[in-house]
Every structure is written in structure tokens, then in C-alpha cells.
Structure 1
Amino acid sequence: MRDAVKKLWPELEWISDAGLREQVTGAWVKAFELSPLTPEDLEEIPFTLLVPNCPVTFMQHKRCVVHIARRAAEAMTEFMGHALNVDMDTVVAGAILADVGKLLEYEKADGKVRQSQRGSYLRHPFSGVALAVEAGVPDRVCHVIAAHADEGNLIRRSTEATIVHHADFMSFLPFKNMA
């Protein structure tokens, strides 16, 4: 399964800390162990259930979020790095893990994706943090997972969580607003 995760996520190589890279990979491996979904499913299922007939797959959305977040972090570092420290590994790891909990929130039935029973109780930021903690992911990255969605509006987001939150919503809201 590790090879399948690395194939899904070539962006793992952007994480310079080998230990963190392994922890992020481990969280995805654990998610697949507990999920009814397969790596192949993520290339086909919609990234959200909130957009009817969503034309974008889970992996298209997720990889886009990682790329947007990384580019934003690079621009912020280039132009404001003298006044603002951005931890690139935290941004990339957090963006890769932000929706790992959806593997527990979603299931397939009759060829369609729907919310699982577990998902009706725990949204993906919560289950994602649980998976990440079990894999040994540091708190600073778990914070990004916890804060990337609307649940994060209740707390003060770190710089890295703010970047991932906005990257996620930049590639979600245009589709939600079209529905």
C-alpha cells in the first residue's frame, strides 16, 4: 500500500524531512486499511458530496490544493519572508493530509459515493487528525488538518493552516457556487 500512496502523491517528495514524509505516508496507509475506498477510487470519485454531479475527482482537487498551497507559501516567503516565517514542510504535509479523513467519511454503494455512518458522526477534519496522530504526525501538521475546513473558523489558525485553508476553499467554492 505504501507504493500505491506514493504513486497517488508524487508531492510527498516536496517534504524535505524524511521522517515527516514517512509519517504522512503512514497516515494514508492507515486510512486505506480502515476505508472501503481504494487508491483507484480516489481517481474517480467526486471530491465533494456538496456539488451535484461534481466534475472534479478527489485526487484532482487534492493535488490542486497542495500545488496552490505550496505556490502561495513560496510567494509569501519570497515577498514577506523577512517578516513572516512559513514552514514549507508543514504546508505541504498539511495539504496532503487535509482530506485523509474523507476515506473514513465516504463509502461507495451501488456505484455511487455517499457519506458513511462514521462520516455522519465525524467529519473528515476530526478523523483525519486521529489518523495523523496514530501515524506520529506532529501537532503543527495536525493543526492544519483540524483547521483547514469550517471547523477551523472557531480557532486561531497558524500561518500554514491559513494557507492550506484558503488553497482548499479556492478550489472548492467555485464549484459549490455553480451548484
Structure 2
Amino acid sequence: MNREYIEKIFPEINEIGDKQLRHGVIKAWLLAIKRGGWRRIDDVPFTLLTKTKRTLIQHTRTVTRMAMAVASARHDLNRDVLIAAGLLHDVGKLLEYSRKRKAVVKSKFGRLVRHPVSGYGLALEVGLPLDIAHIIAAHSKEGEAVARSREAVVIHHCDFIDFDIARSK
């Protein structure tokens, strides 16, 4: 997998105005794919907590587009940060999950480290700013212990809106 693949599955990347931030998002996904040993990610579920056909790619794009809509409605948010964080909030799932035969299951690593923590590490490792790493770390229940930035509040709620809708079916 390469940069073009990431840009194809996540076209919202091209909405990020800051070129360095855009490249960092791509680098984080490529590192997660490599480190997780994935040959393809198009069928990776966005959650193992409920039965759903929604994929990680679909969920990631939905959260990102919802965050973009919030940014359009409010002018006190950093749109580039919201897009980057929306695209990366679950990047750590490629380390939390693994493929066992044809099924996607919790990996050995994932039983020890949840995706907000591993995603935080991936973001910093590829040189992304701390505010992006903070949102990744704080988007789920781990974020209940810290003061979330405004953008982290948006990503947290967009993530759970999509999860709760998927769970309600």
C-alpha cells in the first residue's frame, strides 16, 4: 500500500490545507498498516464491540465528514486539525486488531493497549503535532480523564454518534 491508496480511500485528506499535516496523516496510516501487518484494510470492521457491516474506512470517513460539517457551522474550530484528527482517530485499530484466517480479531497487542493509546504513539512517531495526538488519545473513554480541546470534543461526539447509530440497528 502506498500514498495513492491512502488518498483514494480517504479523499478527505485533500481537504487539509496544511501540506505538512496532510503528509503526516498519510504517513501515520502507512505506518499503522505496515506495523499491523495488513495486506488490505477495506474489510476491517470499525468495531468488534457490536455486529456491524460498517468498515473502519466507512466509519473514519463518516466521523471526518461530520467533523467537517461542525467546522462549517462554527468558526472557532481549526478545520485542518478536525479533518486530520477525524481521519486518524482510529488509526491505532490497525494495531489493536489482527486477521486470524478470514476473521478480524483483537490482537495480542490490542489486548494490552487500546487504539487511542497506540494511535497517539503513531501520530507522534510520524511527527504530527501534539494537538492531533491529543485528540486521538482523548476521543474515546481514555479522554474522560483529561481536559479535551474543542476539536477533541467534536471528534469524540462524532465518533460516538456513528457508533451509537451502528449499535442501535
**Mapping 1:124-135, distance limit 5 Å:** 124-135=115-126
Q: Which runs of 5+ in 2 are unaligned?
A: none
2:71 aligns with: 73
1:146 aligns with: 137
CA offset digits 1:55-77 (Å, max 9, x no partner): 21111111000000110121122
Q: What is the letter of the counterpart of residue 73 of structure 1?
A: A
| In structure 2, C-alpha distance between the alignment counterparts of 1:46 and 1:25, rounded to whole Å | 20
Match 1:102 to one of 69, 73, 93? 93
Q: What is the letter of the counterpart of residue 45 of structure 1?
A: V
Measured after TM superposition, the shift of residue 177 of structure 1 is: 3.9
- Does 1:44 pair with 2:35? no
TM-score (norm 1): 0.90
TM-score (norm 2): 0.95
Q: How many residues align?
A: 168
2:3 aligns with: 2
Structure 1 segments of 4+ aligned residues over 6 angstroms from their partners = none
Match 2:111 to one of 120, 132, 140? 120
Percent identical pairs in the alignment equals: 39
